[in-house]
Structure 1
Amino acid sequence: MNTTTSKKEQRKLMMLNEPISKVIPKMAVPTIVAFLITSIYNLADTYFVSFLGTNATAAVSVNASLDQIIMMAGSLLAIGANSYIARLLGARDKDKANRVFSTAFFLAASFGLIVLAIGTTFIYPVVRMLGATESCESYAVQYATYVLLVAPFMASSFVMNQCLRAEGSALFSMIGMGFGGVLNCFLDPVFIFGMDLGVAGASMATAISKLVSFCILFYPYFRRKSMLHISLKYFCPTKEILYQIGSIGSASMFRSLLGVASGIALNNIAGGISDSVLAGIGVSTKIMMFPFSVFLGFGAGFQPVAGFNWGAKRFNRVRECYKFSSRVALIGSTAAGALMALFAPSIIGWFTTSDPEMLAIGALCIRLQCLALPIHAWAMVVNMFCAGLGYFPGAMLIATARQGSCFFPVLFPLAWLSGGDGVAASQAVADLLSLFLAIPIHRIVMEKVSRAEEEYRNEGKVLLDV
């Protein structure tokens, strides 16, 4: 047995046999680090651009929705492929896993090309649609220009990143995302100030970093150091593969779609009040991505472990995955929320020293979302549990609640009643409402596990609990 094969077998044994309290952190920590680094370099753009003024800061905030649009199909294909591939690898069907992976990769790249073509052709209408005001429109166009050029690489990188996790290679996934993030932090001041490129320099730095991340993530597939392989010969968009990817991935896609829609709505409402409110909401949203990234990364580490064991019929480990992850999410979110709420004004103060309206709105938004953070973290675990087990309805309902079914009904009334303060409170109220969906879905999916276990016993199969 060669070294590469040995490592692949070790990853399988890790997913099936190591204690849950060890294997989930082992999978999750690299993903959390990668997501945190991504959050840092997204915030780095905002931080360095903030020295150019409130209008420039507002323009970068507006373009956060452009990133979500680019990642929308990537999330559909990546999350769906991650779930299906983890189950296929758990069932030892590697050939089909390769077909699923290659299909997702090439479809994501194709979507990125479509976004590139449409975005560059209609760039001014696009940034206005995203919520750019007249005073920040030119900055928004400068930032969007270079990000659009790497759209195909961004979308396909997301697929590679998720599928590396599905096969247990979370560390390489972290390196791919993390190195690009660190590079962006170094390039931002060089391009923005050293080369005097302003907002366009921030966009260039981001584009180069995304391209470097793509190359790093592509390396293990190119050198055949992964379980999965990319090849056009594996491209097989059959009805079954598309259904399996789409049924779970659509929950993530709709979450991204609703994230775009909610971001555009927030931008337009906030921008209608003032650029200061627009900048304050945008900055606080990016700051809250830090705790969200931790719990999203934790969920992304937990999901393939649950899915792998579900495919291998290891039902006790499936339950243990969920219980362990729920405890960690609730304890961690409570501690993180309390700490961030305490220092909210100081954190927002890093991004403005001369705009009291931006400071007040941003601090209020952070504090209210911190109060609801435990709900958001636990709902994320339930969502990832549904996705890992292939339970489409539950994954869809929870994924679309926070920025959709629970968000839009409260956004406009709160904005009408309380102006900027109402806009700042809208996401926290939506998080609270999402609890009323997560609780019954949690019960349904646990019953699903119990039924599957009972059916497996009735077939005379032996359950492996080791």
Structure 2
Amino acid sequence: MKFQTLNAEQNYKRMTEQPVRSLILQLATPTIISMLITSFYSMTDTIFVSRLGTESSAAVGIVYSIMSIIQSIGITFGQGSANTVSRLLGAKQRTEADQVFSTAFFTSMSMALLFTLAGLAGTTSLVRFLGATPTIETEAVSYASVILVGAPWMAVCYTMNNNLRSEGKAHLGMLGMSSGAILNVILDPIFIFVLGMGIKGAALATVLSQGFSFFILFSHFVKRRSNLHLSLRHVRLKWWIYRDIFTVGAPSLFRTLLHTVSAICLNVFSAPFGDEAIAAMSITTRVMQFLNSALIGFGQGLQPVAGFSWGAKRYDRLIEAYTFCVRTGVLAFTFIGVVCFAGAHYIMLLFLSDPTVIAIGTVAIRYQCILMPLSSFNTLSGMVFQSTGHGSSSSVLALARQGFFFVPVISLLPGLVGLAGVQLAQPIADVLTFVLSLAYILPFLKKLRSLTSVG
């Protein structure tokens, strides 16, 4: 597959002059595909492992928190460096962009390796902390011990993918991430059923598939398909680089870590209602993650446009890009929410035939589908703050959904209304986050309009 390669100057012209709507759709389409296929990693494991029984399905839900931590490492350095890189490229500071990316790449890999060593030293204690019950602990340890080995290249895949997107070459990231996901779909049934490896086979398939993605993504930089130059010589352990990475990457770190915290809370507060509740809420999380991955992919089409526009002081393009994405996202996810609400029962049947699990999951999916339009507004608002370097605003919004609101709600509500409290916690958090997002985004848009009129 061949794609047109633009040099740095041609890419700058495209990012600052091509009509906003067509540019966003051009950038977002491969990213949406990449995100959907990538999220199939966890979906595929859940679907195939669920055939082994309710306990196996619940075990995958427990280890999902470990995978979230691995992703948080790669996404923090990926998003932090990518949005910084897009602004540097917009300002034509290309040497600095290479330094930021190379530093992020090697730091991401090193941090993931440290997590691997720490996790393997106490895997049993780790899965217990994440909410594993005695009946699912053994399978959770089997799954986690393999996943932890692949953490270094799994994390750095997200770092490379985000930086390819930052320079407007999302199609290269799509090629790498989707190739690994497709391989995972092929390997899962072979390892789990044909070779009889069970849940450990699912983990091995995921790790090998992510390794395949790593080599494809890495080749884009080695073969100079990217305008960014990856090299140890470009690594700079300088304050300004890490400051910019963490200022912009902090929202991604908080968001992903809080997903982990919320997943732990979900497991812990579902446990009193049985392994069936853990399995049902785990499946619900995978389904909503799959649907939201399309929204995140669409938002990632917005981010390089927003970053370039902010760096080039084209505030009119930034306003147009944001309003177009919000309108499109809200309309699309209203439609998706209606379809999934109607088909929630059949979605659950894709995973398990256990009637208790299906009943619990159907209700949970329907509650979350009702609020999908608001969730799209929340996500896109946080992403535009992140891509323009407003790390504090983006961090607050990231903390709100899974931290400020979700954790207290799920901690209190099940004790008041039982299982319904577990099912309602996320929708309630989404409503509260919507109110907070409005309070942040309206003044920001007003500021952009004033800057546009001055310019």
Counterpart of 2:393 in structure 1 is 394
Q: Is the 1:65–1:264 Cα contact (8 Å) retained in structure 2?
A: yes
CA shift, 1:369, in A, is 0.6
Give yes or no for contact 1:4–1:225 (8 Å, CA) kept in 2.
no
Amino acid at match of 2:372: L
Matches within 5 A, 1:291-302: 291-302=291-302
Q: CA deviation at 1:450?
A: 3.5
TM-score normalised per structure 2: 0.97
Compute the displacement of 1:290 (Å): 2.1
Deviation at 1:447, TM superposition (A): 3.1
Structure 1 residue 114 and structure 2 residue 114: aligned?
A: yes
Q: Deviations over 1:368-410 (max 9, x none)?
A: 1111111110111111110111112211111111111111121
Deviation, structure 1 residue 452: 4.1
Deviations 1:141-195 (A, max 9, x none): 1111111111111111111000000001100111111111111000000000000
- In structure 1, the partner of 2:431 is 432
The corresponding residue for 2:407 is: 408
- In structure 1, the partner of 2:161 is 161
- 1:279–1:358 Cα contact (<8 Å) kept: yes
Please list, as runs of the form range in 1=range in 2, the aligned pairs for 1:10-409 lying within 5 A after superposition. Answer: 10-353=10-353, 355-409=354-408
* In structure 1, distance between residues paired with 2:5 and 2:380: 32
Number of residue pairs the alignment of both structures matches = 453
Instruction: Name the SS for the 1:118 alignment partner.
Output: helix
Separation (CA, whole Å) in 1 of partners of 2:266 and 2:6: 50
User: Which residue identity is paired with 1:370?
Assistant: C
Give, as a single letter, the amino acid of the residue that structure 2 aligns with 1:426.
A
Q: How many angstroms apart in 2 are the aligned matches of 1:7 and 1:243? A: 28
Provide structure 1 residue ranges, at least 5 long, that are not aligned to the other structure. Answer: 458-466
Tell me the SS of whatever aligns to 1:237: coil
What is the CA distance between 1:449 and its match in structure 2? 2.1
Native 8 Å contact 2:43 2:290 kept in 1: no
Would you say the 8 A contact 1:391–1:445 is kept in 2? no
Residue by residue over 1:195-218, the C-alpha shift from the partner in whole angstroms, topping out at 9 and shown as x without a partner, is 000000000000001101111111
Amino acid at match of 2:178: G
CA contact (8 A) 2:273 2:419 kept: yes
Cα offsets for 1:53-86 (capped at 9, x unmatched): 1000000111110111112222221111111110
Distance 2:350 2:329 in 1: 28
Counterpart-to-counterpart distance in 2, 1:14 and 1:416: 55
Q: Secondary structure at the match of 1:406?
A: helix
Q: Percent identity?
A: 38
8 Å Cα contact 2:316/2:452 also seen in 1: no
| DSSP-derived class of the 2:95 partner | helix
Structure 1 residues 63 and 6, CA gap change in structure 2 (3 angstroms): closer
Cα drift, residue 272 of structure 1: 2.7
When the two chains are superposed, the root-mean-square deviation of aligned CA atoms in Å is 1.4
CA distance in 1, matches of 2:334, 2:110: 41
Residue identity in the other structure for 2:216 = I
Name the counterpart of 1:460: none
CA shift at 1:6, angstroms? 4.3
Paired with 1:448 and 1:166, the residues of 2 have a C-alpha distance of: 25
SS at match of 1:133: coil
CA offset digits 1:123-154 (Å, max 9, x no partner): 10011111111111111111111111111111
Q: 1:104, 1:444 → 2: CA distance?
A: 32
Partners of 1:397 and 1:437 within 8 A in 2? no
Q: Is the 8 A contact 1:71 1:158 kept in 2?
A: yes
Unmatched tracts of structure 2, length 5 or more: none
Letter paired with 2:431: L
**Structure-2 separation of matches of 1:282 and 1:5:** 41
Deviations 1:22-72 (A, max 9, x none): 110111111111111122231111111111110000001111101111122
CA contact (8 A) 1:77 1:249 kept: yes
Query: How far apart, CA to CA, are the structure 1 residues paired with 2:10 and 2:135?
Result: 56
Give 1:453 shift: 3.9
71-80 or 445-454, larger mean C-alpha shift? 445-454
Shift of 1:4: 8.4
